[in-house]
Amino acid sequence: MKFARDTWLIFQRQTQLLLRNPVWVFVGVFQPVMYLLLFAPLLKPALNAPTQAAAYKIFVPGLLVLLAIFGGLFQGFGLIAELRAGVIERSRVTPISRLALLLGRSLRDVVSLIVQAVIITLLALLFDLRVFIGDLLLAYLMLALIALMTSAVSYGVALKVKSEDALAPLMNTVAQPVLLLSGILLPLTFAPGWLQGIANWNPFSWAVDGTRALFAGDLGSDKVWQGLSITAVLAALGVYWAARQFARSVR
């Protein structure tokens, strides 16, 4: 009960601060929209897709997973700013739950990601993308789990390194291979066997496959439950690890 209340308290505060600065909505949507407008048209011929809508069904889920990964991984910067301002230290001398300090922030990140995802989905509808609402909600659940994991990990790393100068290259180094090996921009069906072999070890590649299956309306596909299970386990591990970092910084 106290934990839920504490989490809600932090979530509210973080959301309020986010809304006060609406630039993020613009920034967060501008880039994906550029991909939709300037990159996606290349896909129909490149993917040999029968229609533009079919190309979007492949591209949009990848784009959303990309947003979830990157949006989450870079949240640590905000925490470093808060560390520097003394806000975290101030929270630590109160009896507030340490896990709530983490989860309140990560849930804010999840909600802001879902808002971005909804905006992008709506825009894609204009380009004739069609998805069943039930499948779409499951896809959003997948995105939420990914964002929860990446943002929690980012916060945990931020607490450890305590400096933007260390966090930026670290996160970029992690994000780049994850991105290339997950078939986000182009499906890995085109990849040579060895590349596919490596990608099989990339959990995000499973998440992308699962999300694509959902966008394709293929709810029964094994890829859906596999992707969801893998991301759920990873999210739990990520939150557990980051929570330990929060708890360890102070008992």
Partner 1 sequence: MIETRGLRKSFRSRAGRETKTVDAVRGVDLDVARGEIFGFLGPNGAGKTTTLRMLATLIEPDGGEATIAGADLRKDPAEVRRRIGYVPQGGSTWDESTAREELVLHARMYGIGKADAQRRAARALDAFQLTEYADRKCKTYSGGQRRRVEIALGIIHEPKIVFLDEPTTGLDPQSRAHMWDEIRRLRGDGMTVFITTHYLDEADALCDRIAIMDNGEVVAEGTPAELKREISGDVVLVGLDLAASPQAAKALDGEPYVNKLETVDEGGLRLYVDEGATAIPQVLRRLDHAGLELRSIELHRPSLDDVFLTKTGRSLRES
| Between 16 and 51, CB nearer to partner 1 | 16
**Does 50 participate in binding partner 1 (rule CB under 8 A)?**
no
**Does 162 participate in binding partner 1 (rule CB under 8 A)?**
no
Tell me the HSE value of 219 on the side-chain side, using a 13 A CA sphere: 8
Minimal distance, residue 247 CB to partner 1, in Å: 12
**Does 2 participate in binding partner 1 (rule CB under 8 A)?**
yes
Site for partner 1 in 186-245 (CB under 8 A): none
**Does 17 participate in binding partner 1 (rule CB under 8 A)?**
yes
Q: Which residues contact 190 (CB under 8 A, 6 or more apart)?
A: none
Q: Count Cβ atoms within 10 A of the Cβ of residue 130 and give its class: 0-12 exposed, 13-18 middle, 19 or more buried.
A: exposed
* One of 3, 37, 39, 89 touching partner 1 (CB under 8 A): 89
* One of 87, 118, 137, 237 touching partner 1 (CB under 8 A): 87
| Between 166 and 195, CB nearer to partner 1 | 166
Count the residues of the shown chain that bind partner 1, applying the rule CB under 8 A: 22
What the block records as the tokens of 153 is 């990990």
- Give the span between the Cα atoms of 154 and 74, in whole angstroms: 6
Q: Which residues contact 85 (CB under 8 A, 6 or more apart)?
A: none
- Give the span between the Cα atoms of 164 and 1, in whole angstroms: 35
Neighbours of 63 (CB within 10 A): 22
- Give the span between the Cα atoms of 189 and 210, in whole angstroms: 14
* One of 79, 96, 138, 175 touching partner 1 (CB under 8 A): 96
**Does 164 participate in binding partner 1 (rule CB under 8 A)?**
no
* One of 91, 196, 221, 226 touching partner 1 (CB under 8 A): 91
| Between 48 and 94, CB nearer to partner 1 | 94
| Between 3 and 190, CB nearer to partner 1 | 3
Candidate ranges 89-97, 142-150, 180-188, 206-214; the one touching partner 1 (CB under 8 A): 89-97
Cα-based angle 102, 24, 132 (whole degrees, multiple of 5): 85
Tell me the HSE value of 145 on the side-chain side, using a 13 A CA sphere: 22
Contacts to partner 1 by CB under 8 A: 2, 6, 9, 13, 16-17, 20-21, 82, 85-87, 89-96, 250-251
